[in-house]
Amino acid sequence: MSDSLLERAADEFRRQYGIPAAFCVRAPGRVNLLGEHTDYNGLPVLPMAIDRCIAIAARPRDGRRVRAVGLDWGHEIESFELAPAIPKHPQGHWMNYIKAGMQGILAKLCPDEREGMTGCDMVIAGNIPAEAGLSSSSALVVASAMTLLHVHHRTVGRLTLAEWMAEAEWYVGTRGGGMDQAVCLLGQPDHALQIDFFPLRAQPVSWPKEYAVVLCDSGVRAKKSESALRAYNFRSAECRLAARLLNQALARNGWESQFQRLGDLLRPPFHFSYTEIRDLAESALRDTYRYSELVQALGEESRVIEILRDCSIPGDPGDSGPRFHCGKRYRHVAREALRVVKSRELLDRGEMEAFGELMLEGHASARDDFEISCPPLDQLVRIAMESGAVGARLTGAGFGGCTVNVVRRDQVKEFLAAVRSHPGLPPSITHPGMIFPVNAAPAAAYYPIS
């Protein structure tokens, strides 16, 4: 076992528990190149697994207790009992992601199978910057689930496990889609993935070897226990409300069938094209609605309240509460999906300047229509383009985190120097290590202890 991160976890395991670990799991983070907030709308994304990872060293133990040490969160042992409904740690605590992954496995087993499950001891190490939009949380969820499966010598297909883990992560309060879990479990070296949903499927997309991916960390943290979590879930609710409004518009034009997500329009009985989905969203929705206007448009207040509560938002905010930007949100989602589809053709042909233009369009859309950017991210995109990038945009859920930048591989050193010395560099970037290249990495896997 030559990987330093795995060795760090295994060495600490022996120190903490006095015996060697039985195996290790490594799960990669990801960078999303295009397709922001499209996954839970049933539309495609274009992420890449990266060589920043979560590593777990583990060993089975008697009883149902799970013990874990997180090296990036102190060295104290935390623990819980395996159960169908595991009580949560405080919102935002790292242990909740371990609980999410393991409870997600337990939820899919029959009662007799759950009864026979035993716990394990774990040590977790990682080098994915936390709360930086690189999916450190989903990597921990996936790695924890894989740990429990390996302890019990169980195998689950990767597509199936990705779907299970997308649902399992709702435990922590984020009403997201399935991109992060899927790319963690399906990533390939030298490739991005086009991932489609409902049903989940993934197609590798070759990444041109002449170009590198460089991340610039804004230093702004979108904490999942605070306002960023509420803002994320609110946008999920706005998209679901927009789908209900579009159902009403289609019904007025003679369509009897209903759909749940915008991506359902690609499938029977609708068979819309991506362009038709974009045009429908832009023609049938207003940018902004008051609460009473939504209730009137949908004909029943309980429909609105159901969606809000399902997205962890208290019902009935009233007209004095926040506005619902349904049209703006779906305009971004529909156009972003079209950008993902176009991008695959451009990557296949090596047309990276055109790909970079799509990245810039995606950032502008995320900033203006989905409203998930912030001034340091906008500033980093401008600096990247001035420093020689062919494309740049925010990556991940937004509200902080990183920008992703595409740079000619033979110009990476010059790009890094130019960005780090730029007079407009946001003050939140405190050291050069917050700007770094990444490579496409393999999917999550098990590793023996040597």
- Residues marked active site are found at 180
Q: Which of 67, 50, 47 is nearest to 59 (CA)?
A: 67
Q: How far is CA 71 from the centre of its chain?
A: 23
Q: Would you state the structure tokens that stand for residue 233, as one six-digit string? A: 């879930």
Whole-angstrom distance, CA of residue 69 vs CA of residue 212: 35
Burial state string for 377-400 with b = 16 or more CB within 10 A and e = fewer than 16: bbbbbebbbebebbbbbbbbbbbb
Beta partners for residue 55, in sequence order: 26, 125
Per-residue DSSP letter, 78: E
Q: Which of 132, 129, 185 is nearest to 155 (CA)?
A: 185
Q: How far is CA 158 from the centre of its chain?
A: 17
Backbone angles phi, psi at 30, to 5 degrees: -150, 155
Contact 403, 384 (CB under 8 A): yes
- What single-letter amino acid sits at 433? G
Radius of gyration of the chain (CA): 22
Whole-angstrom distance, CA of residue 145 vs CA of residue 102: 5
Whole-angstrom distance, CA of residue 259 vs CA of residue 305: 19
Contact 288, 253 (CB under 8 A): no
Q: Which of 1, 35, 36, 39 is nearest to 21 (CA)?
A: 1
Q: Would you state the structure tokens that stand for residue 309, as one six-digit string? A: 């509560």
Strand pairing report for 23-34 and 445-448: antiparallel
Contact 70, 78 (CB under 8 A): yes
Contact 28, 49 (CB under 8 A): yes
Strand pairing report for 120-126 and 65-70: parallel
Q: Which of 370, 333, 339 is nearest to 355 (CA)?
A: 339
